[in-house]
Amino acid sequence: MPRIDLDSIAQRNDTGYPGAHARLVQQRWVRRLAPIAGLSDFGVSHVVLKPGAASSQRHWHEDEDEFLVMLSGEAMLVEEGARTLLRAGDMAAFPKGEPDGHHLVNEGDTDCAFVAFGRPPTGDCHYPDIDLLWSGGVYRHKDGRRY
């Protein structure tokens, strides 16, 4: 396996979140590694969260397992009723179908970085804290209207 030169891969901070839902992730910088490495069965992303940024809106997937490894810094894992500090070397797993939304928030004053593994979801993704649902390949309001 050839070594991946992380510095040669552009960081992006775009998001598909509609409107105001995008603000939370404005300082999330992502490098998509799977396409560069020729991987097609699952995705791998290198993610940097600037202070105050979140990895996503708090969410859970009906049909996608997720796994992450913290590389540097600290991030707060926020779940329903639980907050867990993750540091470099810590790992977390989010089995598909578990209706406990999660996300990471950088509450510190320095960057944190992690690697996330998953696959592009084909089923619904739920966002328990906001009026948002990913369904049928598009973002919708929870009542089913498209954004």
Domain residue ranges of the chain, discontinuous segments joined by +? 6-140
**Burial of 120 per CB tally in 10 Å (0-12, 13-18, 19+):** exposed
Residue 1 clears pLDDT 80, i.e. is over it: no
What DSSP string describes 27-84?
A: TEEEEE-HHHHT--SSEEEEEEE-TT-BSSSSBEESS--EEEEEEESEEEEEETTEEE
* CATH code for the domain defined by 6-140: 2.60.120.10
Q: Which pTM does this prediction carry?
A: 0.94
Mean pLDDT of the chain: 96
Distance, in Å, from the CA atom of 147 to the CA atom of 125, rounded to the nearest integer, reads: 15
pLDDT of residue 34: 94
Beta strands 132-135 and 125-127: pairing type?
antiparallel
Distance, in Å, from the CA atom of 50 to the CA atom of 72, rounded to the nearest integer, reads: 12
**Residue 17: pLDDT band with limits 50, 70, 90:** very high
